[in-house]
């Protein structure tokens, strides 16, 4: 069956481009016509004896000498047609930096969209994007996107067409408005680029322009819509000679002051704290850099949102800390995305470093008074780069501190025989070392082979290691891809060490009208990567396929459309089927730039080997899911989206629904307000409550469930005001309320069934009622390139009701009262300064 599906994907892929619309140029035709008549483009840089004065005005002497490059081609909306507005750029250089001048001519300069935002924050706007591939490896690069207001976003490109905006350089840009459009001047110091030393250089380059009012994207080195790859399709930048890559030292010392006010504190009881630390970047060579942080503080980072998780799987929270975001892609092995399945294990999840301390349990007969929210990171260092032999590598090591919890412990007084309560500190997290290393070798054209190792060692902890190797092969203009991975984990002491494995094989056809994926992967029962990675389960085999068709050119109904069909099967290593399902979904972008998506899934009956939390298999009834999203044109001052889904099984005994929407308001170019409420209702016929060992033999013999009705309501409100490109204020508020009302309490009647018997031995009422409020305000001022002042206020209010005699859902009252609940308030000022040596 799997081989037949794989063969079908190959056959279907061969017919890509057969369908065409006579009123428009088909994507495949546009690609062929372009490459037949346009050889690879070349831009030329000239040396500047006197560097241009950065003011956005193209009037310096060097710009009279530098060649003008133009001739941009649309890939949206009119694929393959010349851009509707003229765009030019020029390139100059000296011993220290590369300089780019760009002019975006516009016959309607009053219609230019120039929304203002802080650095790296996306807003709908006109923009010019400069993309460079200094190592000229056709896979990696950097980009600098600039808006008419002076906004800039910088980031890196990797794996040919993946983007990461977490990289921050000290590139400088100035823009100017003109009567015939707008212009920019960009300075890129060599120390932010990676390239080997040569007498003369050829770099990859592409420049792309967006005209917001037309939703038009055009490129100097044209990449047709729907075609795979990006960096590999850059043009050439020639003429740079006699420069040397700079092995720079960048130092970012910081100082901070923080005041914490907790419930019951008086004005003189504030927790006052001051600290200092250091971030460092050093170019070990032209292609290898070292980043280090000593005593880092991430107080300006936004808190995780509140969630309700009643399932067996851990909630995934994304990384938000700058040190662990920047350049982290080198540590991540490719993880192909397949619709409807769990991707291969994330072998490195940086949120494990500095995790909430909980390695060791509290002593018996004790009550916790308090514990730290996170483990202190003493220091971290990472080294990454790419050799002349096209070998990329990364090493990261971090050390976290020993952490203690304060407890009240009940002990028997030896003299009186009476119970006393003693308050003391106990260790809950040892000093721990985290290590990850990865090496990746370029092969052929845009293919790679990689190897990875992670290790976690701590005093009193069982050491945990994971090693992996992967191969990612691309061919036929990157349209066909084969991915494989084998990982091995070892955890525990030497005499009792468990060894597990994970294997994956994926085939994918990308680009063009037809495509698809076929896959099989497995995790053995002893595979464990959660010490430094993220995995939701092991003991799993999954296989299936995904077939898609995309109409990439406008037709009578929409500007573009997509249709997807998915089939999947999951088993455990005992051969029990855990999941079997099909899904169909479709999306459409309409001619007015509104769009919608809808999907229908059917999961057939299978077994759940985790529902009883270590007990016997339980039948999982067949269920159906339907959902849809609608979104508006986000170029408008008011835009938004609306989503809804519903699922049900077992004759309506299990029912779930969710509805949410977002509205974004942009009354002026500097301000945006986003409001995102959501409501979730679930009726679960069998929600696990607890297991009990009533006969005392050490094994659970009662697996207790309840009929649960739960509700969640939350509102996320985010406001951003950009005073200038370097000064902004951001406010975030998220009130959250949830209730759960358990009906009949019962136990699983027999294994491998969905049948239950009444159970009367539950001692505590499992109903719940919780509410919380997360809020923060961040004033961010980049007072000079690379140097930032943060003024932060954070508040976290939480309340869980012990007596849930009335679990009725009253969101209006709960949301308003959440603002009066007890909570911690933090005021923080952090100043860092960039020094380049």
β partners of residue 438: 394, 452
Q: What is the pLDDT of residue 250?
A: 85
Q: Which two tokens stand for residue 649?
A: 């099984």
Give dist(CA 133, CA 117) in Å, integer.
27
Residue 383 lies in a domain: yes
Report residue 303's pLDDT band, with 50, 70 and 90 as the boundaries: low
pLDDT tens per residue, range 346-377: 899 999 999 889 888 888 888 888 888 889 89
The angle at the Cα of 449, spanning 443 to 453, to the nearest 5 degrees, equals 150
Q: How far apart are the first and last CA of the chain?
A: 62
Give dist(CA 170, CA 192) in Å, integer.
7
Residue 554 and residue 443 share a domain = yes
Residue 127 lies in a domain: yes
Residue 469 and residue 367 share a domain = yes
Q: What is the pLDDT of residue 712?
A: 96
DSSP 739-785: EEEEEEEEEE-STTS--EEE-----S---EEEEEEEEEEEEEEEEET
Residue 517 lies in a domain: yes
Report residue 614's pLDDT band, with 50, 70 and 90 as the boundaries: very high
Q: What is the mean pLDDT of residues 615-619?
A: 96
Give dist(CA 371, CA 357) in Å, integer.
8
Q: Provide the number of structural domains found in the chain.
A: 3
Give dist(CA 437, CA 455) in Å, integer.
9
CB atoms within 10 A of CB 328: 20
DSSP 72-119: -EEEESSTTSBPSS-EEEEEEE-SSEEEEEEEEE-S-GGG-------T
Report residue 534's pLDDT band, with 50, 70 and 90 as the boundaries: very high
Residue 586 and residue 524 share a domain = yes
Residue 518 and residue 657 share a domain = no
Buried b / exposed e over 669-696, threshold 16 CB at 10 Å, is: bbbbebebbbebbbbbbbbbbebbeeee
Q: Which residue has the higher pLDDT, 823 or 759?
A: 759
Residue 14 lies in a domain: no
Q: Beta strand 577-589 with 391-400: parallel, antiparallel or unpaired?
A: unpaired
Q: Check whether 22 has a pLDDT greater than 70.
A: no
pLDDT tens per residue, range 401-449: 999 999 888 887 777 777 788 889 999 999 999 999 999 999 988 899 9
Answer for the pair 704, 689: CB distance below 8 angstroms, yes or no: yes
Residue 620 lies in a domain: no
β partners of residue 622: none
Task: Please give the helix or strand (H or E) that residue 7 lies within, else none.
Answer: helix 2-13
Residue 10 lies in a domain: no
Residue 446 and residue 407 share a domain = yes
Q: What is the mean pLDDT of residues 551-556?
A: 92
In this structure, what are the phi and psi dihedrals at residue 10, rounded to the nearest 5 degrees?
-60, -45
Residue 593 and residue 635 share a domain = no
Residue 192 and residue 98 share a domain = yes
pLDDT tens per residue, range 109-122: 999 999 988 888 88
Residue 562 and residue 501 share a domain = yes
Cα 545 to chain center, whole Å? 25
Residue 551 and residue 663 share a domain = no
pLDDT tens per residue, range 702-758: 999 999 999 999 999 999 999 998 999 999 999 999 999 999 999 999 999 999 999
Task: Please give the helix or strand (H or E) that residue 6 lies within, else none.
Answer: helix 2-13
Q: What is the mean pLDDT of residues 489-511?
A: 87
Q: Check whether 320 has a pLDDT greater than 70.
A: yes
Q: What is the pLDDT of residue 191?
A: 87
CB atoms within 10 A of CB 806: 11
Answer for the pair 761, 728: CB distance below 8 angstroms, yes or no: no
Q: Which residue has the higher pLDDT, 9 or 65?
A: 65
Using DSSP, state whether 36 is helix, strand or coil.
helix
Residue 572 lies in a domain: yes
Residue 78 and residue 183 share a domain = yes
Residue 130 and residue 268 share a domain = no
Mean pLDDT lowest for which of 163-172, 446-455, 524-533, 787-796? 163-172
Report residue 336's pLDDT band, with 50, 70 and 90 as the boundaries: low
Residue 185 lies in a domain: yes
Q: What is the mean pLDDT of residues 164-190?
A: 93
pTM of the predicted protein model: 0.84
Q: What is the pLDDT of residue 68?
A: 98
Residue 228 and residue 96 share a domain = yes
Answer for the pair 352, 535: CB distance below 8 angstroms, yes or no: no
Q: Under the phi-then-psi rule, with left for phi > 0, alpha for psi from -120 to 50, and beta for the rest, what region is 239?
A: left
Give dist(CA 129, CA 833) in Å, integer.
27
Instruction: State the CATH number of the domain containing residue 222.
Output: 2.60.40.1190
DSSP state of 37: H
Answer for the pair 237, 45: CB distance below 8 angstroms, yes or no: yes
What is the maximal distance between C-alpha atoms in the chain?
A: 98
Task: Please give the helix or strand (H or E) that residue 486 lies within, else none.
Answer: strand 480-491
Percentage of the chain lying above the pLDDT 90 cut: 61
What range defines the domain where residue 469 resides? 313-600
Q: Which of 183, 209, 241 lies at the terminal end of a domain, its last residue? A: 241
Using DSSP, state whether 650 is helix, strand or coil.
helix
Q: What is the mean pLDDT of residues 788-794?
A: 92
Q: Check whether 488 has a pLDDT greater than 60.
A: yes
């Amino acid at each position: 069956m799997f081989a037949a599906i794989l063969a079908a994907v190959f056959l279907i892929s061969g017919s890509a481009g057969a369908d065409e619309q006579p009123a428009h140029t088909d994507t495949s035709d546009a690609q062929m016509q372009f490459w037949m008549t346009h050889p690879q483009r070349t831009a030329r840089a000239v040396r500047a004896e006197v560097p241009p004065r950065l003011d956005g005005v193209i009037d310096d002497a060097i710009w009279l000498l530098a060649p003008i490059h133009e001739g941009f081609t649309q890939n949206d909306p009119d694929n393959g047609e010349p851009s509707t507005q003229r765009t030019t750029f020029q390139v100059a250089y000296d011993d220290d930096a590369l300089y780019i001048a760009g002019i975006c001519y516009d016959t309607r300069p009053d219609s230019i969209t120039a929304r203002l935002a802080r650095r790296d924050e996306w807003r709908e706007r006109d923009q010019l994007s400069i993309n460079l591939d200094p190592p000229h490896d056709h896979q990696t690069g950097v980009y600098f996107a600039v808006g008419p207001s002076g906004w800039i976003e910088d980031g890196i490109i990797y794996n040919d067409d993946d983007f990461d905006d977490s990289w921050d350089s000290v590139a400088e840009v100035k823009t100017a408005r003109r009567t015939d459009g707008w212009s920019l001047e960009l300075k890129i110091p060599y120390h932010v680029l990676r390239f080997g030393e040569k007498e003369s250089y050829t770099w990859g380059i592409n420049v792309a322009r967006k005209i917001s009012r037309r939703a038009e994207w055009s490129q100097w080195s044209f990449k047709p819509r729907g075609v795979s790859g990006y960096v590999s399709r850059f043009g050439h930048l020639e003429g740079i000679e006699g420069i040397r890559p700079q092995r720079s030292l960048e130092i970012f010392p910081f100082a901070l002051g923080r005041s914490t006010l907790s419930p019951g504190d008086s004005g003189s009881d504030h927790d006052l704290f001051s600290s200092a630390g250091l971030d460092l970047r050093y170019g070990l060579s032209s292609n290898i850099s070292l980043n280090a942080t000593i005593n880092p503080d991430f107080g300006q980072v936004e808190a995780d949102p509140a969630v309700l998780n009643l399932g067996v799987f851990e909630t995934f929270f994304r990384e938000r800390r700058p040190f662990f975001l920047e350049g982290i892609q080198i540590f991540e092995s490719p993880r192909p995305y397949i619709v409807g399945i769990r991707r291969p294990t994330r072998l490195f999840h940086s949120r494990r470093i500095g995790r909430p301390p909980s390695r060791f349990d509290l002593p018996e007969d004790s009550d916790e008074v308090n514990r730290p929210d996170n483990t202190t990171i003493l220091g971290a260092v990472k080294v990454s780069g790419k050799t002349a032999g096209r070998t990329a590598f990364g090493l990261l090591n971090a050390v976290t501190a020993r952490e203690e919890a304060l407890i009240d412990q009940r002990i028997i007084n030896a003299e009186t025989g009476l119970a006393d309560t003693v308050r003391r500190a106990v260790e809950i997290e040892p000093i721990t070392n985290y290590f990850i290393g990865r090496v990746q070798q370029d092969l052929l054209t845009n293919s790679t082979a990689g190897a990875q190792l992670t290790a976690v060692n701590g005093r009193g902890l069982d050491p945990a290691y994971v090693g992996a190797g992967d191969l990612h092969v691309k061919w036929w203009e990157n349209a066909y891809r084969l991915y494989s991975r084998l990982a091995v984990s070892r955890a525990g002491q030497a005499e009792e060490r468990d060894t597990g494995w994970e294997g994956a094989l994926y085939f994918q056809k990308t680009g063009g009208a037809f495509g698809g994926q076929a896959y099989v992967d497995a995790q053995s029962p002893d595979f464990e990567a959660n010490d430094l990675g993220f995995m939701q389960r092991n003991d799993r085999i999954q296989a299936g396929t995904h077939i898609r068709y995309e109409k990439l050119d406008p037709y009578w109904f929409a500007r573009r459309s997509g249709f997807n069909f998915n089939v999947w099967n999951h088993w455990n290593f005992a051969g029990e089927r855990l999941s079997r399902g099909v899904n169909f979904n479709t999306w459409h972008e309409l001619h007015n730039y509104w769009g919608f998506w809808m999907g229908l899934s059917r999961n057939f009956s299978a077994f759940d080997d985790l529902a009883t939390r270590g007990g016997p298999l339980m039948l999982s009834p067949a269920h159906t899911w339907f959902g849809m999203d609608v979104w508006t044109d986000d170029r408008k001052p008011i835009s938004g989206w609306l989503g809804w889904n519903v699922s049900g099984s077992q004759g309506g005994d299990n029912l779930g629904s969710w509805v949410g929407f977002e509205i974004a308001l942009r009354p002026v170019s500097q301000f945006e307000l986003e409001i995102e409420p959501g409501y979730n209702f679930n009726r679960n016929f069998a929600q696990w409550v607890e297991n009990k060992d009533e006969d005392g033999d050490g094994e659970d013999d009662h697996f207790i469930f309840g009929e649960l009705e739960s509700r969640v309501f939350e509102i996320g409100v985010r406001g951003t005001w950009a005073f200038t490109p370097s000064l902004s204020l951001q406010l975030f508020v998220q009130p959250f309320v949830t209730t759960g009302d358990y009906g009949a309490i019962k136990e699983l009647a027999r294994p491998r069934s969905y049948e239950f018997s009444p159970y009367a031995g539950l001692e505590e009422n499992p109903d719940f009622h919780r509410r919380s409020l997360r809020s923060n305000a961040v004033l961010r001022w980049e007072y000079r390139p690379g140097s930032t002042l943060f003024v932060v206020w954070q508040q976290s209010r939480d309340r869980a009701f012990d007596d849930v005699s009335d679990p009725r859902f009253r969101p209006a009252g709960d949301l308003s009262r959440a603002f009066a609940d007890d909570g911690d308030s933090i005021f923080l000022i952090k100043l860092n300064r960039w020094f380049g040596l």
